A and B are shown apart, each in its own frame.
Chain A
């Protein structure tokens, strides 16, 4: 996992290793254009294993929802094939795909009660009244809304509506459930609560889920794997910790978590490391991830919590050490955010835990900071 080409080969190796039975859904070379001029999705490939929770993460307009809609059958791919359990599904209308879907604004039918909403997918499958009743009751119990069967959706709170939508997408026991930014309309506390709820249901039912969101925290909390979208292309497909710890390009590093960026060009390669001469003239030792040879431009990515303040004796620990000027200190309760001016970057953020023994810094103060070359990733410019 040194540069992008190698990373790609690793990704394809995982899919090759996966047994044909294990792959539940597959996008192969999928492209989508609405106007025949611009591609919204450019060459999308994704293998989803049975029972997996995969998130499509990206800014709005990056093509993630379009991919979901193609899977659901509401959009047709301009090129490429989508396979479900090994069968191409392009010709299959949405109602024959048997895929559960949770919509952004829930799309609960306002003229039906909660129980009627849940019964709808069962009635269209001609289940008996008794069976329908039993399954509806079980689905309501699963989302802990037993008492609310006779209510109209409008009489429920946002979180309750969300749970009903989830129950409706699951009540007919689909093997695949798609979720299109389902938590977007909820406030922060409720959103976190629902994340755990969805995760719990996913674990207990073992259904395969494809989840679309633009919220990276949501993606990191819930997913087995995350596909980071930008500009119609998957930038990186990996597990949450992999994405955070080892972003493969500048977009992923910037989009996932907080990130300090230093711009420069490669001046020398030393073993597994490289030396980067920054635009300010300083030289930083970094880990080359996605850079070319000597002389090529690069963006150095460094997480704020991996930068330390030096107090003299521990100085030997770090191969990068610089003098920084404190610009601003923001008190955030459990930690402090300090904006520094270092290596010509005035937006350099330093996160320090609010623990005993850390003195208060003042704007204008000069401090020593350092970081390990292993945490400083040299990415594409």
Chain B
């Protein structure tokens, strides 16, 4: 079995490895054929969109495509003063062509992300070009003062490349100054970092809540006789079979200020009618509803681990002289750590990507970063920024997953 020995061969002299490969090739091909529909589906619906999203978060084609002459003319610009007539001539030609093709809007939005006021600068100037005669420099600057500012040209020159980090910078509340330094965004635009932190700590809190609530239930499930545990399991799974929207809106009915819980509290005299608790459309609402919704994802991995712990371990610990709590702490609890980690990572990853529930019950203060991804996708139409935020979220999930895999092992995640 030493390494220096000649490779093994079959009886007719073919190397054993080659022969083995030949033998399994057919069955491998068959297996591949069987999974190919799913593989194709995953490629189209999952892998390609993810790469599309990743590329969109850095893509920057607008200036290159819509101001080609301007960019060329700016090549030998000294960056000391507003450029001269040739650059303005090129700009006019580019804008005229863009207006003809009716695609100046993309360019206008893109430059507006970098420097406010650029949208109207481009749109208004383009509209007035028909009546303008050369030399253009003064006329264009007169049409909009932005063209007479040095920073405008620096930005145009800077953005004349196909990739940009500015979406990622915007996602963490940073921006590039016209000279290329990374600076903090103005205070009134500091929203994303806070939202990231809020998403993470609230997801952590939700994970902790599901663990505290789920552990005893999983323990009961694993230790009750089959007849009772089956019933309990149905109760655990029942939420899975109910629409997410139904579960979320039910919490609105229970928690709102004219809701069931407040009514009962007022009726019992615990709180005054005019001092009803505000439990929905804020952080409390998000935490309560999401804890409820994600609870099964904690219970099931915990249960699957606890089920494999034979009752004889606890009995052995007791017979060896361990008091009940000590036996639990020293013997049972350490054995459930893989289940807690599996449930924890599952709930945490699910909750940092949760969207509908925070949107419905989170109000302004209980919203997650995902709600801003949706906002940038649907309302502000800044897809680059949405893609950058989503990519950061994806990165965080991948990091958590890798840490988990290193510490516990992914094979421990089982649902029942």
Contact residue among B319, B324, B335 (Cβ-Cβ distance under 8 Å from A100):
B319
Cα separation A231 to B320 with both chains bound (whole Å): 31
**A94→B319 contact, CB < 8 A:** yes
Q: Does A311 contact B (CB under 8 A)?
A: no
Contact residue among A97, A103, A110, A168 (Cβ-Cβ distance under 8 Å from B315):
A103
**B321→A107 contact, CB < 8 A:** no
Q: Does B184 contact A (CB under 8 A)?
A: no
Cα separation A192 to B310 with both chains bound (whole Å): 27
Q: Does B242 contact A (CB under 8 A)?
A: no
**A105→B310 contact, CB < 8 A:** yes
Please give the distance in Å from A307's CB to the nearest CB on chain B. 45
Cα separation A99 to B317 with both chains bound (whole Å): 12
The stretch of B34-42, B86-94, B191-199, B326-334 in contact with A is B326-334
Chain A neighbourhood of B320, CB < 8 A: 95, 100-101, 120-121, 124, 168-169, 172
Chain A residue at minimal CB-CB distance from B318: A94
Cα separation A95 to B321 with both chains bound (whole Å): 4
Q: Does B127 contact A (CB under 8 A)?
A: no
With A94-B319, A121-B321, A124-B321 as contacts: A109 and B312 at CB distance below 8 Å: no
**A74→B326 contact, CB < 8 A:** no
Contact residue among A105, A111, A120, A124 (Cβ-Cβ distance under 8 Å from B335):
A111
Cα separation A99 to B318 with both chains bound (whole Å): 10
**A101→B335 contact, CB < 8 A:** no
Q: Does A125 contact B (CB under 8 A)?
A: yes
**A95→B316 contact, CB < 8 A:** no
Chain B residue at minimal CB-CB distance from A100: B319
With A103-B312, A105-B312, A107-B313 as contacts: A95 and B335 at CB distance below 8 Å: no
Provide the A87-112 mask, 1 if CB < 8 A to any CB of B, else 0: 00000011101111101110111110
Chain A neighbourhood of B316, CB < 8 A: 101, 103, 107-109, 168
Cα separation A108 to B315 with both chains bound (whole Å): 11
Q: Does B323 contact A (CB under 8 A)?
A: yes
Cα separation A169 to B319 with both chains bound (whole Å): 9
User: What is the interface residue range for chain B against chain A?
Assistant: 10 to 19
Please give the distance in Å from A168's CB to the nearest CB on chain B. 7
Q: Does A326 contact B (CB under 8 A)?
A: no
Cα separation A111 to B323 with both chains bound (whole Å): 19
For A, the interface residue count at a CB cutoff of 8 angstroms equals: 26
Contacts of A90-148 to chain B: CB distance below 8 A: 93-95, 97-101, 103-105, 107-111, 120-121, 124-125
Q: Does A253 contact B (CB under 8 A)?
A: no
Please give the distance in Å from B145's CB to the nearest CB on chain A. 72
Cα separation A97 to B323 with both chains bound (whole Å): 12
**A107→B322 contact, CB < 8 A:** no
Q: Does A376 contact B (CB under 8 A)?
A: no
Chain B neighbourhood of A93, CB < 8 A: 318, 324
Chain B residue at minimal CB-CB distance from A121: B320
Chain A residue at minimal CB-CB distance from B320: A121
Contact residue among A72, A95, A101 (Cβ-Cβ distance under 8 Å from B327):
A95
Cα separation A152 to B294 with both chains bound (whole Å): 36
Contact residue among B312, B315, B322, B323 (Cβ-Cβ distance under 8 Å from A120):
B322
**A95→B310 contact, CB < 8 A:** no
Chain A residue at minimal CB-CB distance from B309: A110
With A103-B312, A109-B313 as contacts: A124 and B323 at CB distance below 8 Å: yes
Chain B neighbourhood of A121, CB < 8 A: 320-322
7 contacts between A and B (CB under 8 A): A72-B319, A98-B321, A107-B313, A109-B335, A124-B320, A124-B322, A168-B320
Ranked 3 nearest A-B pairs via Cβ: A121-B320, A107-B316, A107-B312
14 extra A-B contacts, CB within 8 A, seeds A72-B315, A109-B316, A120-B322 = A94-B315, A95-B321, A99-B319, A100-B320, A103-B315, A105-B310, A107-B312, A108-B316, A109-B335, A120-B317, A120-B330, A121-B321, A125-B321, A172-B320
